[in-house]
Amino acid sequence: MDISLENFQGPMDLLLHLVKKKEMNIMDIKIEVIIDEYLNYINNFEKMNLNIASSYLVMASELLEIKSRMLLPNSDDQEEVEELKENLINRIVEYEKYKELVPVFQDKELERQEFITKSPSSILEYKNEKYNSDLNVDCLVEAYKKMLERVEEEKPIRTKITKKEISIESQILRIKEKFKENRRIEFTNLFDIKTKEYMVATFLAVLEMVKFGEIKIYQENSFETILCEAVK
């Protein structure tokens, strides 16, 4: 036998493999053949004294019951046997459907990692009486957009899919460390790594800090560089 239990994710996975190995139409499975194949498979592992997960043995006992009932002549419970067979076939069919969806969900999971989300909130929450001149959140958003355009021209932003997400909280801590070195920092200097997830998380962190009065943003004169300053 050229396959092992490690290749399967459970007894239904093994049953589906046996169906395909016999090149059967999954809607017209010869259940007695599949039962024999499965039981032979389990018996071979037992003869080799290999550990078998309990779920495989539970399925083996279920298949043995179906097989024993099928072998009984003139049994009064043939209707129940047919029901057991039909139920097993339906379970194999359903398992195949779920298995076909696994790659789809895996792709969706990878796509989801490209996004950084934040709970919806009113932009009015970010109004800060400590702003100088007419600077507001719209100005900050516009400055952020221009910075993205500039980065795009200099070097395309490449999104790297990673299991480790960049959180807003971690960026807030990083920004606070920067302010320990200098109380006043140019807005664009907060974005020292030019990746999409990093820049989005940093921008949201700046908004959060403005919202809670930890920093103020201003321009000394209209159209000049936007500055961020730590609030004592």
pLDDT in tens, 104-113: 888 888 887 7
Tell me what pLDDT residue 49 has: 59
Q: Which pair of structure tokens corresponds to residue 23?
A: 């090149």
Distance between CA atoms of 27 and 51, rounded to whole angstroms? 32
Mean pLDDT of 205-209: 88
- Which helix (H) or strand (E) segment holds residue 20: the answer is helix 11-21
pLDDT at 157 over 50: no
CATH 1.10.10.580 matches 123-230? yes
- Mean per-residue pLDDT over the chain, rounded: 76
Q: What are φ and ψ of residue 123, in 5° steps?
A: -65, -20
Residue that the structure tokens 């792709």 belong to: 107
- Where, residue-wise, is CATH 1.10.10.580 in the chain? 123-230
Q: pLDDT of 62-91, one tens digit each? A: 888 888 877 776 656 777 777 888 888 888
Q: How many CA atoms lie within 13 A of 155 on its CB side?
A: 6
In tens, the pLDDT along 15-65 reads: 888 888 877 776 677 778 888 888 888 877 767 655 667 778 888 888 888
Looking at the whole model, is its pTM more than 0.85?
no
